[in-house]
Amino acid sequence: MTEFGKPLRPTITPIPGLVLWDLTVHGDSRGWFKENWQREKMVAAGVPDFGPVQNNVSFNDAVGTTRGIHAEPWDKWVSVATGRVFGVWVDLREGPTFGTRFTAELDPSRAIFVPRGVGNGYQTLEPDTAYTYLVNEHWSPEATYSFLNLADESAAIEWPIPLDRAEISDKDLRHPRLADVAPVAPRKILVTGADGQLGRALRAEFGDAPHIEYTTRAQLDLASPEVVTARRWREYDAIINAAAYTAVDLAETPEGRRAAWTVNVTGVSHLARIAHENRLALIHVSSDYVFDGSSADPYREDDPLDPLGVYGQTKAAADAIVSSVDRHYILRTSWVIGDGRNFVRTMSGLAERGVDPRVVDDQLGRLTFTDDLARGIRHLLDTGAPFGVYNLTGSGQPASWCDVARRVFALTGHDPQRVGAVSTDEYFASAKGLVAPRPRRSVLDLAKIIATGFEPADWDAALGGYLRDAQSPAPDGGQPAL
């Protein structure tokens, strides 16, 4: 019998993410009423804001009708409209809880949130039973399910009505035992810009797991409106956007300005739309160039933006767009060094060739190595850190580009005094073509990301390891922009 007046409250189960909920049902001699799904109240109480897009109803007129056990590729909110059912849930996802079982009865006063990949089966205990389920993906014949046999010995389900007396479909009787079930892989993660310095570091960090996908501009043009429908985005959990236009000086030209806005803003706006419509996490890499560099104190995540040049303006615009997505991480970084053409490799090459460079000494910041940046991105995703903006650079004492160049010379066995100091104004006075203004101070406050349990690597210590691991120096490059 339905219990009236219970408060909305959860019961945690041994299956991660599977939560049984008591619902408030109002009733009297005329019948009853309940709010089967009330987003504001339920999300505040702890129900995932899973974004349902379809409502389905199943009706069984006979006691003992048994369905399942099916693991669908979407989340479900299951409740009963009339009657009573016995439910069984088995974790069929990859991981240490694979095979974990939970059972409970559902009536109009109890509902359950079933995460994607958790197998669910139901047996009616009263005639004329109807149960409803909200799902956050439209049904499709292309959807891939995983199944478990209702009589699996390892699950050892004690069905109230024995299966030999139950109404079961032939298909459900033929489902595999647990030992033969293909575990459900996690939702996919897409890494854009996979051929860049950060993209290569992300590939090294995440590896070749089947649910991790890497794409380049040639494979997926983010600036094209068609990207919004290019994939079944509901099958993804996150997009890590490592694609960016970083030619800061070229961005000051008419052609470069168009290219910078196309890649850094138009492309990001398409990703934000995809993330918003499909409830994905969008991880976006930003830059110290969103600030003007005039602050004597390290920049915090909530400091007002004031970009100096076109590149910085596009990154600031992208930050504003990404911040409108509910599930977002914006990582502001500086002076990025990785596998490819960059300042450190340039200085190493000059040292080896006997060239004595003049390097600016009035721009201050910290190097950020792409492996550390990739590690930080994974940390935020794996730990479920609060969404928002995070600064992520190398730690340690800030230095000038001239200081960094001298450290490169010293660490590669060359006299650091071969590196001459010059002011930014002097250096760019002789530059050919348009030159973008640079922030003079790019020191970012790291307290927020450290509070999540992540420890950024000391840039100076990381520099030594980078130089030891580096292959032959790359051709001359410029100061990094990302």
Check whether 167 has a pLDDT greater than 80. yes
User: Per-residue pLDDT for 471 more than 60?
Assistant: no
Please report the DSSP string for 207-241 in residue order: TT-TTEEE--TTT--TTSGGGGGSS-GGGEEEEEE
SS3 content of the chain, % helix, strand, coil (to 5): 30, 25, 45
| Structural domains in the chain plus CATH codes | 9-180 (2.60.120.10), 188-469 (3.40.50.720)
User: With the CA atoms of 417, 419, 421 and 424 taken in that order, what torsion angle do they form, in degrees rounded to the nearest 10?
Assistant: -160
pLDDT digit string (tens) for 389-425?
A: 999 999 999 999 999 999 999 999 999 999 999 999 9
Give catalytic residue positions: 70, 133
Spatial separation of the C-alpha atoms in residues 323 and 344, rounded to whole Å? 32
Q: Where are the alpha helices (DSSP H) in 323-423?
A: 343-353, 370-383, 401-411
**Residue 428: per-residue pLDDT:** 83
* Tokens of residue 10, six digits: 């959860």
pLDDT (0 to 100) of residue 470: 75
The answer to whether 251 and 309 are in contact (CB under 8 A) is yes
What pLDDT, in 10s, does the model give residues 218-255? 999 999 999 999 998 988 999 999 999 999 999 999 99
pLDDT, tens digit, 9 for 90 and up, residues 329-367: 999 999 999 998 899 999 999 999 999 999 999 999 999
C-alpha 265/C-alpha 221 separation (Å) is: 13
Pairing of β 281-287 and β 76-82: unpaired
Helix (H/G/I), strand (E/B), else coil: 333:
strand
**Residue 475, pLDDT score:** 41
pLDDT value for 143: 78
Strand partners, 369: 337
Cα separation, 291 vs 445, in Å, equals 13
Could you tell me which residues are beta bridge partners of residue 337?
Answer: 369
Q: Are 131 and 107 in contact (CB under 8 A)?
A: no
Share of the chain above pLDDT 90, in %: 85
What pTM did the predictor assign? 0.84
List the structure tokens of 304.
Answer: 């007002």
- DSSP string spanning 1-32? -PPPS---EEEE-SSTT-EEEE--EEEETTEE
What's the confidence (pLDDT) of residue 14? 97
What is the rounded distance in angstroms from the CA atom of residue 164 to the CA atom of residue 219? 53
The H-assigned helical ranges of 391-458 are 401-411, 424-429, 447-450
pLDDT of 1: 61
Q: Is the pLDDT of residue 474 over 70?
A: no
pLDDT for the residue 480 = 37
Q: Which of 369, 456, 351, 340 has its CA nearest to residue 405? A: 351
Q: pLDDT digits over 421-449, tens only?
A: 999 998 888 777 778 999 999 999 999 99
pLDDT (average), residues 144-159 = 93
> How many CB atoms within 10 Å of residue 295?
15
Determine how β-strand 236-241 pairs with β-strand 188-192.
Answer: parallel
